[in-house]
Structure 1
Amino acid sequence: MTAISDRPQMLPEQFEEFARHLGRTVEGIRLEFINGKLGIKPVPDGDHGRIIQWLNRICIQARPELYVHDQGLKIQGYRGGFARPDGTLADADAFVGRGDWATTEDVLMVAAVTSFDSETDRRDRVEKPRAYAEASIPVYLLIDRDSAEVVVHSQPDGVRYESVRILPFGKAVHLPEPVGISLDTEPLKNWVR
């Protein structure tokens, strides 16, 4: 028997249509649809944005062919879904002509920066690692401002990430292949509350 909480709130196709219309009329929110549940989160704060700028700069310097995109992704795992990572690392032209929601085959890494809201724990630490592993995204980078840690998820097996490394801000972090970039995380200490 399926519990009511396990039932999807809407079909993936309904979410895509809903997001297309709502996204044109309401500013200041981001929509996601993960594990059959609609998620609405506020637009990130200035420190959050600065962290994504920092990550993009490092990635471009290390691998000029790549870019950290602000791209919605179709997560074709359990129940289908749509996620808008804080950053999506892929070739600079990977999403040209793809629209609001792109498939994940060209994605090397997704990044999330925790927000200071009540949904962060469930969304960024539980649901997204599972959804991204199911979509076989090679690396999920979580920059956790609450704990001042960087969490690197890698080696997706289609259900979960087999490797999870947790390092405090200030340590050097190597993002495994296919990313192959090292991060000096000392500057992250400047962008936490």
Structure 2
Amino acid sequence: MIVSPMGSPEHGWIAADLHDALLPLRREHGWRGSVGSVNVCIEGPRDSCAPDYTLAAPDCPRRGQLELLSSGVLMVAEVVSPGSAHIDRHEKPRVYATGRVPVYLLIDPIGDEPGVTVLSKPADGAYAMTTRVTMGSPITLPAPIGFELDTSIFKG
């Protein structure tokens, strides 16, 4: 199981702000969002991850009763903290791409230049598309999400 150390209160608040921002989209599509309480089974190696935020359809396939299967998850997000920086920036993109998670959102409030990165189009254990903006700028969450996210909500 790949679990990052617990972050600061701000870490959790950022994930909750993302959850709130996606509320209209979740309601429109009937999708479910979860802040840090859902395990995702990475298909293939069967690793288990606990993303800071998970977005999935209510009928997302599962492995047993407790884990969502990664190929059915719409998006995962990680909020970088000092204890998770290497894992979130370097290891989790490979893990989530291997599991064919369509969109990986990396919210990095502690980088030299705080920013938000969207990785998409997983293929062969890597994401083919990467878009990064400075914290505070809008960023598009591509298909299957299709949403422009105002990242100024993460500036606290």
Cα displacement (A) at 1:95: 7.1
Contact 1:60 1:66 (8 Å CA) reproduced: no
Of residues 5, 9, 33, the one that matches 1:46 is 9
In structure 1, the partner of 2:98 is 134
1:165-186 alpha-carbon deviations (Å, 9 max, x no partner): 1100111111000011111111
Q: Is 1:71 aligned to 2:38, yes or no? A: yes
Of residues 143, 149, 168, the one that matches 2:115 is 149
Contact 2:62 2:68 (8 Å CA) reproduced: no
Please give the root-mean-square deviation of Cα atoms over the aligned residues, in Å: 2.0
Cα displacement (A) at 1:61: 1.4
Q: What is the identity, as a one-letter code, of the residue corresponding to 1:43? A: M
Q: What is the identity, as a one-letter code, of the residue corresponding to 1:76? A: E
1:147-166 alpha-carbon deviations (Å, 9 max, x no partner): 21001000111320000111
Structure 1 unaligned spans of 5+: 1-31, 34-39
Contact 1:59 1:67 (8 Å CA) reproduced: no
Query: SS of the residue aligned with 1:63?
Result: helix
Q: What is the identity, as a one-letter code, of the residue corresponding to 2:50? A: R
Within a 5 Å distance, the mapping from 1:23-34 to structure 2 comes to: 32-33=1-2
Contact 2:62 2:69 (8 Å CA) reproduced: no
In structure 2, the partner of 1:107 is 73
Q: What is the identity, as a one-letter code, of the residue corresponding to 2:38? A: Q
Q: Which has a greater percent of strand?
A: 2
Q: TM-score, normalised by structure 1?
A: 0.70
Q: Is 1:61 aligned to 2:24, yes or no? A: yes
C-alpha distance in structure 2 between counterparts of 1:71 and 1:116, whole Å: 22
Q: Is 1:182 aligned to 2:148, yes or no? A: yes
Tell me which structure has the larger Cα radius of gyration.
Answer: 1
Cα displacement (A) at 1:41: 3.5
Structure 2 unaligned spans of 5+: none
Q: Which has the higher contact order (CA 8 A, sep 6+)?
A: 2
C-alpha distance in structure 1 between counterparts of 2:16 and 2:134, whole Å: 20
Within a 5 Å distance, the mapping from 1:5-24 to structure 2 comes to: none
C-alpha distance in structure 1 between counterparts of 2:61 and 2:14, whole Å: 22
Instruction: Please list every run of at least 4 consecutive aligned residues from structure 1 whose deviation after the TM superposition is greater than 6 angstroms.
Output: none
Cα displacement (A) at 1:96: 8.4
The number of equivalent residue pairs is 150
